[in-house]
Amino acid sequence: MLNRTDQLDLADLAIRLARQTGADYADVRIGRTSTEYLLAREHRLEECNQQSELGLGLRVLLKHSWGFAASQRLDRDAVSRCVDRAIDNARAVRPIQARPIALEEIPVHEAEWVMPLGTDPFSVSADIKAEKLIAINAAALGAGADFCTSSFLFARDERLFANSRGSRIFQTRTRSFPSFEVTAVDRQSGAFASRASLAPARAAGFDYVISCDLVAEAALATEQARQKLRAQSAPPGQYDLVIDPTNLWLTIHETVGHSTELDRVLGWEANFAGTSFVKPQGLDRLRFGSPLMTILADRSQDGGLASVAFDDDGVGCTAAEFPIIENGILRNFQMALGQAGLIGLERSNGCAYAARPTDFPIQRMPNISLKPNPSPCSLNELFAGVDHGLYIVGSGSWSIDQQRDNFQFSGQLFYEIKNGRLGQMLRDVAYQGRTLDFWNAMDGLGDASTYFLGGSFYCGKGEPVQLAPVSHGAVPARFRGVTVLNTASQDT
Encode pLDDT of 219-265 as tens digits. Answer: 999 999 999 999 999 999 999 999 999 999 999 999 999 999 999 99
Choose between 211 and 274: higher pLDDT. 211
Residue 259 shares a structural domain with residue 185: no
Tens digits of residue pLDDT in 434-459: 999 999 999 999 999 999 999 999 99
Question: Where a domain ends, among 201, 230, 259?
Answer: 230
Domain count, the chain: 2
Do 212 and 245 lie in one domain? The reply is no
> What is residue 233's predicted lDDT score, i.e. its pLDDT?
96
Calculate the alpha carbon distances from 216 to 16, 144, 213, 220 in Å: 57, 13, 6, 6
> Does residue 491 register a pLDDT over 60?
no
**Closest to 481 (Cα-Cα) out of 403, 408, 350, 390:** 390
Per 3-state DSSP, the chain is made up of helix, strand and coil in percentages (nearest 5) of 25, 40, 35
Region 362-376: mean pLDDT is 97
Assess if residue 292 is contained within a domain. Answer: yes
Same domain, 341 and 266: yes
The residue out of 207, 230, 253 marking a domain boundary is 230
Average model confidence (pLDDT) for the chain? 96
For residue 426, being part of any structural domain is answered with yes
Lowest-confidence segment of 284-293, 335-344, 420-429, 444-453 by average pLDDT: 335-344
Q: What is the CATH number of the domain that holds 79?
A: 3.30.2290.10
Question: Are 305 and 383 part of one and the same domain?
Answer: yes
Indicate whether 59 and 115 sit together in one domain: yes
Give kind and range of the element (H or E) at residue 80: helix 76-93
Same domain, 28 and 70: yes
Short-list 275, 264, 259, 378, CA closest to 325: 259
Contact (Cβ atoms closer than 8 angstroms) between residue 442 and residue 290: yes
Tens digits of residue pLDDT in 143-191: 999 999 999 999 999 999 999 999 999 999 999 999 999 999 998 888 9
For the beta carbon of residue 326, count every other beta carbon within 10 angstroms: 18
Q: What percent of the chain is predicted at pLDDT more than 90? A: 92
Whether residue 40 is contained in a domain is answered as yes
Average pLDDT in the 314-334 region? 94
φ and ψ of 307, to 5 deg: -70, 130
DSSP helix/strand/coil, 215: helix
Q: Give the long-range contacts of residues 421-426, CB within 8 A, separation 24 or more.
A: 421/383, 422/383, 422/391, 424/231, 424/232, 425/224, 425/227, 425/228, 425/231, 426/231, 426/232, 426/233, 426/234, 426/390
Predicted pLDDT at 397: 94
DSSP state of 358: T
pLDDT single digits (tens) 64-117: 999 999 999 999 999 999 999 999 999 999 999 888 999 999 999 999 999 999
Asked whether residue 305 carries a pLDDT value surpassing 80, the answer given is yes
Residue 346 has pLDDT above 90, yes or no: no
Q: Is the predicted pLDDT of residue 60 greater than 60, yes or no?
A: yes
Q: Are residues 283 and 399 in the same domain?
A: yes
Contact 102, 391 (CB under 8 A): no
Separation between Cα atoms, residue 133 and residue 139, nearest integer Å: 10
Same domain, 289 and 373: yes
With 70 as the cut, is the pLDDT of residue 135 above it? yes
pLDDT level of residue 492 (50, 70, 90 thresholds): very low
Helix (H) or strand (E) holding 138: helix 126-142
Domain, as residue range, for 317? 233-486
For the chain, state the CA radius of gyration: 24
Q: Per the domain annotation, does 442 fall within a domain?
A: yes
Cβ neighbours of residue 291 closer than 8 Å, sequence gap 6 or more: 327, 328
Residue 492 included in any domain:
no
pLDDT, tens digit, for every residue of 423-435? Answer: 999 999 999 999 9
- The pTM for the full model equals 0.96
Report whether 455 contacts 304 (CB < 8 A).
yes
> What are the residues whose beta carbons fall under 8 Å from the beta carbon of 29, sequence distance 6 or more?
56, 57, 159, 160, 161, 312, 354, 357, 361
341, with CB counted inside 10 A (0-12, 13-18, 19+), is middle
Name the pLDDT band for 490 (thresholds 50, 70, 90): low
Q: How confident is the model at residue 348 (pLDDT cuts 50, 70, 90)?
A: confident
Measured distance CA(137)–CA(463) in Å, rounded: 37
Share of the chain above pLDDT 70, in %: 99
**One domain, residues 172 and 294:** no
No. of H helices and E strands in the chain? 9, 23
Residue where a domain stops, chosen among 230, 255, 270: 230
pLDDT at 268 over 80: yes
**Same domain membership, residue 62 and residue 113:** yes
Q: Is 374 within the bounds of a domain? A: yes
Same domain, 212 and 299: no
Residue 320's pLDDT band (boundaries 50, 70, 90)? confident
pLDDT tens figures, 105-123: 999 999 999 999 999 999 9
Single out the residue of 131, 124, 180, 181 nearest to residue 154, CA to CA: 124
- Residue 32 and residue 55 in one domain: yes
